[in-house]
């Protein structure tokens, strides 16, 4: 073997290459330190989320209107396409950019629902319940000029089982700003084995109940703080200064407004409690379906 051939043989292979080498009578370690008998395995660990997010840049949006305006009106805008592509990227990152949502945007997936774009900043079920979750977007489509549909698959580990869940996300958009006004999701568990389907539904029921309880608690606390602030301001308005003597103050006669405010607080508290039980009842019906699945598994 010549000098040039020896130099080429001594060059290290790129990090992206995967190769195996048979070593007689010796044990070797892979790049991550695991033993593989007499086989040396070198693998790179690509950033799956970045790859999936970048892949959405080249995806076509079926049904997208490219002629936004005619001689009389505008039926779409470039902001719609920008939002749809951003939503596809955010799905792969499990984190939505709230700038692309209306402040009063609504969300629902059959287990959990909320109103207000600030709720998108909270952790999702996929990030909290699944191990090594990753999402793959398959299709971007415009159902009409102001409604987009994204088909994607959620993958990860749950209770020692691997799950792959096809999900259809539908977004209603403001045609002028491109912001999302409504977001609904439907999950297809039919492809999962019965134990995995039951574990997924059970985990979602428990997670949704905790999320609903925390949201209701935060809402009640916010309402109480607002009411206390209004009472404080009312108390300050009940006193006025003597124009002849700035050091003396007089109290206004009680016109019954405090009683009205307290009654309103009571009614608001009862309504919030009712909404909490209503949400929990909806989640409970889902939980009953989970228990039925477990019963069927026990009879198998």
Query: Do 249 and 137 reside in the same domain of the chain?
Result: no
Query: Do 174 and 75 reside in the same domain of the chain?
Result: yes
* Distance in angstroms (rounded) separating the CA atoms of residues 287 and 212: 14
Q: Do residues 140 and 62 lie in contact, with contact meaning Cβ atoms separated by under 8 Å?
A: yes
Whether residue 234 is contained in a domain is answered as yes
Whether residue 174 is contained in a domain is answered as yes
Give 37-80 pLDDT, tens digit per residue: 444 333 434 466 677 777 777 788 898 877 777 667 777 788 99
Whether residue 197 is contained in a domain is answered as no
The domain boundary, picked from 135, 161, 188, lies at: 188
Query: Do 265 and 241 reside in the same domain of the chain?
Result: yes
The domain boundary, picked from 133, 159, 188, lies at: 188
Six token digits for residue 172: 């209603």
Query: Which has the closest alpha carbon to 115: 98, 126, 103?
Result: 103
Contacts of 55 (CB under 8 A, 6+ apart): 137
**What predicted TM-score, i.e. pTM, was given to this entire model?**
0.63
Query: Do 52 and 36 reside in the same domain of the chain?
Result: no
Provide DSSP, 138-182.
EEEEEEETTEEEEEEEEEEEETTEEEEEEEEEEEEE-TTT--EEE
Give 234-267 pLDDT, tens digit per residue: 455 555 556 666 556 555 555 555 666 666 666 6
- Helix then strand then coil, in percent of the chain rounded to 5, is 45, 25, 30
pLDDT at 293 over 60: no
Range of the domain at 33: 3-41
Query: Do 108 and 176 reside in the same domain of the chain?
Result: yes
Query: Do 172 and 254 reside in the same domain of the chain?
Result: no
* Distance in angstroms (rounded) separating the CA atoms of residues 99 and 83: 10
Number of domains in the chain: 3
Across the range 140-146, mean pLDDT stands at 93
Whether residue 249 is contained in a domain is answered as yes
Give 10-47 pLDDT, tens digit per residue: 454 444 444 333 434 444 444 444 444 444 333 434 46
Give 199-208 pLDDT, tens digit per residue: 999 999 999 8
**Residue 183 banded pLDDT, cuts 50, 70, 90:** very high
Q: Is 66 helix (H, G, I), strand (E, B) or coil?
A: coil
**Residue 137 banded pLDDT, cuts 50, 70, 90:** very high
Residue 66 has a pLDDT of 75
The domain boundary, picked from 129, 160, 188, lies at: 188
Whether residue 235 is contained in a domain is answered as yes
Query: Do 248 and 166 reside in the same domain of the chain?
Result: no
């Amino acid at each position: 073997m010549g000098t040039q051939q020896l130099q080429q043989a001594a060059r290290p292979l790129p990090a992206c290459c995967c190769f195996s080498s048979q070593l007689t009578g010796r044990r070797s370690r892979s790049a991550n330190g695991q033993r593989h008998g007499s086989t040396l395995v070198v693998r790179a660990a690509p950033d799956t989320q970045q790859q999936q997010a970048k892949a959405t840049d080249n995806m076509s949006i079926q049904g997208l209107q490219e002629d936004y305006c005619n001689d009389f009106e505008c039926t779409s805008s470039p902001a719609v396409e920008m939002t749809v592509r951003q939503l596809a990227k955010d799905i792969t990152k499990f984190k939505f950019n709230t700038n692309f949502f209306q402040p009063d945007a609504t969300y629902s997936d059959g287990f959990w629902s909320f109103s207000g774009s600030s709720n998108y900043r909270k952790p999702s079920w996929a990030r909290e319940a699944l191990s090594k979750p990753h999402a793959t977007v398959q299709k971007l489509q415009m159902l009409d000029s102001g409604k987009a549909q994204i088909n994607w698959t959620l993958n990860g580990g749950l209770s020692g089982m691997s799950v792959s869940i096809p999900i259809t996300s539908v977004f209603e958009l403001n045609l002028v700003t491109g912001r999302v006004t409504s977001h609904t999701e439907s999950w297809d568990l039919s492809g999962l084995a019965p134990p995995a389907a039951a574990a997924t539904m059970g985990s979602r029921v428990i997670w949704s109940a905790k999320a609903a309880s925390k949201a209701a608690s935060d809402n009640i606390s916010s309402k109480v703080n607002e009411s206390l602030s209004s009472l404080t301001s009312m108390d300050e308005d009940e006193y006025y200064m003597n124009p002849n003597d700035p050091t003396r103050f007089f109290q206004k006669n009680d016109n019954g407004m405090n009683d009205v405010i307290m009654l309103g607080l009571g009614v608001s508290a009862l309504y919030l409690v009712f909404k909490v039980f209503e949400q929990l009842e909806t989640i409970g019906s889902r939980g009953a379906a989970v228990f039925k699945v477990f019963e069927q598994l026990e009879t198998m």
